[in-house]
A and B are shown apart, each in its own frame.
Chain A
Amino acid sequence: SQKIEQNSEALNIQEGKTATLTCNYTNYSPAYLQWYRQDPGRGPVFLLLIRENEKEKRKERLKVTFDTTLKQSLFHITASQPADSATYLCALAPGSYIPTFGRGTSLIVHP
């Protein structure tokens, strides 16, 4: 069966360090992968999209990689700040279909 795996344990890091979150998937052939941020009591907010033929995408302090051979995406936040503390969700979609979300990983950045 199709599965999207994100680390259920919270990631705790110190301010200024780079946070790296992982999204692994099985039995998918996604055309694209997205990363969202979700704060408590709020809906997800779209951050980045990366297509199957792209290796890396950057946006300000964010970087996403997509390895379709390893079936893995890595999401990096450089120079992390306490304001980056949130849950980060990855979502995969085949073609033009609506993405399926992972359960998310909580990031806690300590000052």
Chain B
Amino acid sequence: EAGVAQSPRYKIIEKRQSVAFWCNPISGHATLYWYQQILGQGPKLLIQFQNNGVVDDSQLPKDRFSAERLKGVDSTLKIQPAKLEDSAVYLCASSLDMGVSGSSYNEQFFGPGTRLTVL
């Protein structure tokens, strides 16, 4: 089974420029997540999709970050304009469904991430 794919793997931009990241989740996974991981910290959820609808975007800086998941499969995360503090690894994850119910747990599968450096 193919894992979560992300591209590009690395990106270097100057502040105030724009950047976009792409994620292809595991086939059949309804839920997709974008996380930001700053060096030395744990991943922080930015946005969660269930199919092509947004479930939680409370920690997404909406003045500069946007994300979409067209047709409920691939997703893109965009930053416009970028700031120095946006330098981080952006991780995409997917799961069959969201949350925990009864005795089942929908494990999250993470992609390799995109390392963004803003100069």
Contact = CB atoms under 8 A, between A and B. Distances in A.
Interface of A: 4, 8, 31-32, 41-46, 49, 89, 91, 93, 95-98, 100-104
A49 B91 CA distance: 21
A43 B111 contact: yes
B39 to A, nearest CB: 10
A5 to B, nearest CB: 11
Contact of B40 (A4, A101, A103): A103
Contacts of A98: 33, 45, 48, 56, 98
Interface in B28-43: 33, 40-43
B24 to A, nearest CB: 14
Given A43-B93, A43-B112, A49-B105, A103 B41 contact: yes
Contact count band on B: 20 to 34
23 contacts: A4-B42, A41-B112, A42-B110, A42-B113, A43-B91, A43-B110, A43-B112, A44-B43, A44-B110, A45-B110, A46-B109, A91-B42, A93-B100, A95-B100, A96-B100, A96-B101, A98-B33, A98-B45, A98-B98, A101-B42, A101-B43, A103-B40, A104-B42
A18 to B, nearest CB: 24
A104 B45 CA distance: 16
B107 interface: yes
B4 interface: yes
A101 B110 contact: no
Interface string B43-67: 1110010000000100000000000
A71 to B, nearest CB: 17
A102 B41 CA distance: 7
A102 B111 CA distance: 19
Given A91-B42, A103-B41, A43 B99 contact: no
B7 interface: no
B44 A96 contact: no
A4 B42 CA distance: 10
Contact of B100 (A32, A46, A100): A32
A46 B108 contact: yes
